[in-house]
Amino acid sequence: DVKVTQSSRYLVKRTGEKVFLECVQDMDHENMFWYRQDPGLGLRLIYFSYDVKMKEKGDIPEGYSVSREKKERFSLILESASTNQTSMYLCASSLSRNRFDYEQYFGPGTRLTVT
Amino acid sequence: DQQVKQNSPSLSVQEGRISILNCDYTNSMFDYFLWYKKYPAEGPTFLISISSIKDKNEDGRFTVFLNKSAKHLSLHIVPSQPGDSAVYFCAASKTSYDKVIFGPGTSLSVIP
């Protein structure tokens, strides 16, 4: 079974803090994704990566950055957290760098609250 | 502007009856469609998919129908079970090399 784990289930941070969200997958998947889920908006893609040290902007990259130093690990960084970044953050991975429409495996999510 | 729309935020169905979840898309270039199911406090899990070369795909109690001319797809669950109560996300991609776009989700409640 593919397992995608996220470092925290719940996180509370203050405005202006630097926030790191970590994601690890154990199935040697090439693609990794970061989404945020907000009511009425569904899942919106922040960043994705199809290889180590490679990253691509998704639909809403502003205020975020990512790091992929190892194939199994994809980190999302909020350089200076703001209240509008309060959300559920979901990490996902999928098998092949040549196809993005393959099934994605999601982690359980991190509920981030910025006060 | 949402390219993948699920106009019903919620749906309630009696156990044993059919659940029909609808999804509309605006981009005629989409050629691959997926449905994901999400329980509270868990990440979404893949349910079923369909390629634009087909108009129907079936997997057990779940069937997805695609109407390309109407840019519409639907997920049928027959018979519905209480364990099907979850949020269902419709998703689409333009090509196999492009990212997947998710809809806002429909919350299904199956009443025993």
Predicted pLDDT at B99: 81
Q: Among A72, A86, A88, A93, which Cα is nearest to A114's?
A: A86
pLDDT at A103: 84
β-pair type (B19-25, B4-5): antiparallel
Percent of chain A residues topping a pLDDT of 90:
75
B35 part of contact set with chain A, CB < 8 Å: no
Work out the mean pLDDT of chain A and round it to a whole number.
Answer: 92
Distance from CA of A101 to the nearest CA of B (A): 5
Model confidence at A110: pLDDT above 90? yes
Furthest-apart CA pair in chain A: how many Å?
Answer: 40
Structure tokens belonging to residue B25: 């898309």
Question: Residue A109 burial (CB < 10 Å; 0-12/13-18/19+)?
Answer: buried
Tell me the pLDDT tens digit for each residue of A61-103: 999 999 999 999 999 999 999 999 999 999 999 887 666 557 8
Strands (E) in chain B, as ranges, are 4-5, 10-14, 19-25, 32-38, 45-51, 56-59, 62-67, 72-77, 86-93, 100-102, 106-111
B34 to chain A: which residues are within 8 Å by CB?
Answer: 101, 103
> CB contact, 8 Å: B39 with chain A?
no
For A48, nearest residue in chain B (alpha carbons): B99
Name the residue facing B96 among A33, A48, A101 (closest C-beta). A101
Q: Whose structure tokens read 């070369």?
A: B53
Instruction: Establish if B102 touches chain A: CB-CB under 8 angstroms.
Output: yes
Amino acid letter, A59: D
CB contact under 8 A, B93 and A4: no
Task: Give the tens place of pLDDT for each residue, B24-39.
Answer: 999 999 989 999 999 9
Give the pLDDT confidence score for residue A102 in this predicted structure. Answer: 72
For residue A40, pLDDT over 80 is answered with yes
The reply to whether B75 touches chain A by the CB within 8 Å rule is no
Check residue B94 and give its pLDDT. 81
